[in-house]
Amino acid sequence: MIVAEQKSLAEIKGLVADAKNILVVGCGTCVTVSFAGGTKEVGILASSLRMATKLDGNAKQFAEVTVQRQCEWEYIDPLAAQLDQYDLVLSLGCGIGVQALAERFPAIPIVPGLNTTFLGMPVEHGVFEERCQACGDCILGLTGGICPIARCSKQLLNGPCGGSQRGVCEIDAEIPCAWQLIYDRMIARGQLDRLLEIQPPKNWSTSRDGGPRKIVREDLRKLEDEE
Amino acid sequence: MEPVSRLGKALTARQFAVTVEIGPPKGADVSHLLATAENLREYAHAVNITDQQSSVMTLGSLAACHLLLDLGIEPVYQVTCRDRNRIALQSDLLSAYALGIRNVLCLTGDHVSLGDHPQALPVFDLDSVTLLCTLRTLETGRDLAGKKLAGVPHFFAGAVVSPGANPLGPQIAKMEKKIRAGAQFFQTQAVYDPGQLERFIHKVEHLGVPIMAGIIPLKSAGMARFMNRNIAGVEVPDSLIEEMTGTSDRVLTSISIASRLIRDMKDMCQGVHLMPIGWAKVANSLTDRAILG
């Protein structure tokens, strides 16, 4: 899932400073699971902003709505009917949701209330960790199901650097060394020999480095035409 | 093929070799760098020039190596993967060869977050293993894209290893990969316990590659404690920290400790790699003693 966290109230106040009537739009999918932009967070943020702007002597109106998914047209299209009542939309979706709203409703300013942070999972309640960088060329089959692109600070492909000590990364003792994890798992599986093969330089052209990416599924497109 | 450098010839002939590492200045004034290198001329087989060590921005290793060659001092060109992609790395390796540089030490490089520009974009397009492969690929007359080169470089290629890595298994697995990728010698992270080096050498002896033991002369007890806390794989024993705490002459005690380490480790390895971190005068005394034994 996409993990995000809310911007500071001060930054959000700055983003909405020029508006009077604001619609706060939550998203019911990933950012609900990361407790950043679901119905509950929309309610809390809208209340905080009402109070804060009132205390500042510049009270604003904040309306609330949460859609199932901000990143799909069918869920955001119904917002069209009510948008003319507002002069700004504060999106609590991820960066994809913000852009979908801005693309569908170009006439109204859309600002982000979240920082979209990474692709990951809750490893325990309230703790989210990065797991995938969407590099477009998955190598998890070679690395025991642990991704060195997302989880090694240097994205190394041939084993730990000299900064790995007692299982943690040189940049922060809170970060487990991905290569120690990989090494331990491959030993446990009796597959250490696989780690001794030299991995060639990675093809980064499938990653963001190759420019903005797009997938076209002609098989699905045709189906829709036939319908 | 005959090794292409003096350091290569010495190590291949199983002579005890000495290298000293110096860091280029933060700024354009190279007078101190060159004076330091000049003082090492008669003691060291080659002088390593660091590449933005600890991710702190300095004058470049390539230019400094070239300036050393102008003085007739053999450099070891340190190259990290942190700041350049495969295009820039291949280009710099060709440039280095054209400038007369023959020794290349291939490193992954520290993460940018440890240095003085922590907001920079780290690159790591290649790693230490694939950098070694790259160098060997260039030597076949092709680049990484398979395109033919006009003029082929030849290098004496080295890599680094950390005998104090805990656990040692993954470190040695990577060392084996580096050898298969083309590493012809190793310089180690600083070692302060001859027993640690002995245990390490015992595990890698069969690989048959020359290993130069890393020595960082202690400047103070505080520096030792700092390294123990912050530098992966470096462990200064309490007895040495006490020695530095109790002394009235830190330079003399530092030299005494380092020369003792060199003496104790000399027969286990094929050379020493001194990293005096600014204490050039200490390096001079040590290279002298190291050679004279």
| C-alpha dist (Å) from residue B124 to A131, A168, A205, B121, B164 | 19, 19, 15, 10, 24
Based on the fold, state whether residues A110 and A18 are members of the same structural domain: yes
For residue A227, the model assigns a pLDDT of 66
Count structural domains, chain A.
Answer: 2
Which residues in chain B touch residue A157, judged by CB atoms under 8 angstroms apart? Answer: 127, 130
Which residues in chain A touch residue B160, judged by CB atoms under 8 angstroms apart? Answer: 162
DSSP H stretches of helix in A142-217:
148-151, 178-188, 192-195
Which residues in chain B touch residue A160, judged by CB atoms under 8 angstroms apart? Answer: 170-171, 174
pLDDT higher than threshold 90 for residue B286 = no
Percent of chain A with pLDDT over 90: 95
Q: Rounded mean pLDDT of B166-172?
A: 95
Angle at B265 (CA atoms; ends B260, B268), nearest 5 degrees? 165
Percent of chain B with pLDDT over 70: 98
Q: What is the interface pTM, i.e. ipTM, of the complex?
A: 0.93
- Within-domain flag for A179: yes
For residue B195, the model assigns a pLDDT of 97
| C-alpha dist (Å) from residue A172 to A115, B44, B223 | 22, 36, 20
Based on the fold, state whether residues A8 and A114 are members of the same structural domain: yes
- Within-domain flag for A226: no
Q: Rounded mean pLDDT of B8-22?
A: 95
What's the residue count for chain A?
227
Based on the fold, state whether residues A112 and A156 are members of the same structural domain: no
Based on the fold, state whether residues A163 and A65 are members of the same structural domain: no
Whether chain B has a CB inside 8 Å of the CB on A212: the answer is no
pLDDT higher than threshold 90 for residue B285 = no
Which residues in chain B touch residue A162, judged by CB atoms under 8 angstroms apart? Answer: 108, 160-162, 165, 171, 189, 232-233
When CB atoms are compared, the residue of B122, B160, B181 closest to A154 is B122
Please provide the average confidence, as pLDDT, over all residues in chain B. Answer: 94
Which residue, of A88, A118, A148, is where some domain finishes? A118
Based on the fold, state whether residues A142 and A198 are members of the same structural domain: yes
Residue-wise pLDDT for A132-186, tens only, equals: 999 999 999 999 999 999 999 999 999 999 999 999 999 999 999 999 999 999 9
pLDDT higher than threshold 80 for residue B284 = no
For residue B289, the model assigns a pLDDT of 59
Cα separation, B91 vs A153, whole angstroms: 25
Can you give the CATH number for the domain in which A50 is found?
A: 3.40.50.2300
For residue A222, the model assigns a pLDDT of 77
Q: Rounded mean pLDDT of A205-217?
A: 91
Nearby residues of A14 by Cβ (< 8 Å), 6 or more positions away? none
Whether chain B has a CB inside 8 Å of the CB on A200: the answer is yes
Based on the fold, state whether residues A58 and A156 are members of the same structural domain: no
pLDDT higher than threshold 60 for residue B291 = no
Based on the fold, state whether residues A95 and A57 are members of the same structural domain: yes
pLDDT higher than threshold 60 for residue A191 = yes
Structural domain boundaries enclosing A67: 2-118
Which residue, of A118, A145, A175, is where some domain finishes? A118
Based on the fold, state whether residues A74 and A152 are members of the same structural domain: no
| Binary contact (B127, A154; C-beta < 8 A) | yes
Least confident of A10-14, B2-6, B64-68: B2-6
pLDDT higher than threshold 90 for residue B183 = yes
| C-alpha dist (Å) from residue A121 to A34, A57, A167 | 8, 41, 21
pLDDT higher than threshold 90 for residue B74 = yes
Q: Which domains does chain B have, with CATH numbers?
A: 6-292 (3.20.20.220)
| Binary contact (B173, A195; C-beta < 8 A) | yes
- Within-domain flag for A220: no
| Binary contact (A154, B114; C-beta < 8 A) | no
Based on the fold, state whether residues A40 and A84 are members of the same structural domain: yes
| Binary contact (B130, A198; C-beta < 8 A) | yes
- Within-domain flag for A25: yes
Based on the fold, state whether residues A87 and A11 are members of the same structural domain: yes
Please give, rounded to a whole number of angstroms, the shortest distance from the CA of B126 to a CA of chain A: 6
